[in-house]
Amino acid sequence: MAVITGIEVIRGRVVVQADGATIARLPKAHYEKCPLHEGDEIDPERWLESVAEVQRADAYEAALTQLDYCARTEKQLTDALRRKGYVNPVVDATVERLRAAGLIDDARYARRMAETQAAKPVGIYSFKRRLMARGISVDDAEDALARFDDEQQRDACRAAAQSLWRKYAALPPREARAKLSQALARRGFGWDVIESAVDELTE
């Protein structure tokens, strides 16, 4: 059991604390259906489950609204729902429901993102970081990265180098090469393709 030690409205959310720790940040309408008072003794898990029941329909609609705008990974959708004040039990249930319906699929998301990015001057390491930041698993990321083969990376690095070169062309040759190489590395290209692209361009 835990004791409710704080109930406060902050930016339209009701912040509930038990034993000094925040256990929920709820929209006021949801909190009013599962109200508490300071000093109440509760089982936090059971109370959160009751809140989840109140939020279930709204959470699903909120998730569908998010997906109307654009495809999202499980992590992106989970984070978005939590920011809106939905509690973990209903967030987990909503994500599972959407996954079962095929409305979210991280592997498919990663593949489609790779198909789009492979046509752009994007380095494989930069693309991998973007996938991981979106919560894509290592296995799904590796599958998507198969579209970034050596030939594609050479072409992409060459295109990026040509685009960047005008910024450094007026510099002394050695400095221009160094700055161009560093700029390409920041874009996520490997040093082997960077060296090849810079050699080709500066020759």
Distance CA 126, CA 114 (A): 12
Are residue 135 and residue 202 in the same domain, yes or no? yes
pLDDT of residue 3: 94
Q: How many domains, the chain?
A: 2
Give the domain-ending residue among 50, 75, 100: 100
Are residue 144 and residue 92 in the same domain, yes or no? no
Task: Rounding to the nearest 10 degrees, give the CA dihedral for residues 97, 92, 105, 156.
Answer: 160
- Which phi and psi angles does 10 have, rounded to 5°? -130, 115
Q: What is the CATH number of the domain that holds 40?
A: 1.10.10
User: Contact 93/99 with Cβ under 8 angstroms?
Assistant: no
State pTM to two decimals: 0.80
For residue 46, CA distances in Å to 3, 52, 107 come to: 14, 10, 34
pLDDT of residue 122: 87
Distance CA 101, CA 144 (A): 22
pLDDT in tens, the chain (203 residues): 899 999 999 988 999 999 999 999 999 999 999 999 999 999 999 999 999 999 999 999 999 999 998 999 999 999 999 999 999 999 999 999 999 999 999 999 999 999 888 888 889 999 999 999 999 999 999 999 888 888 989 999 999 999 999 888 888 989 999 999 999 999 999 999 999 999 888 76
Are residue 35 and residue 89 in the same domain, yes or no? yes
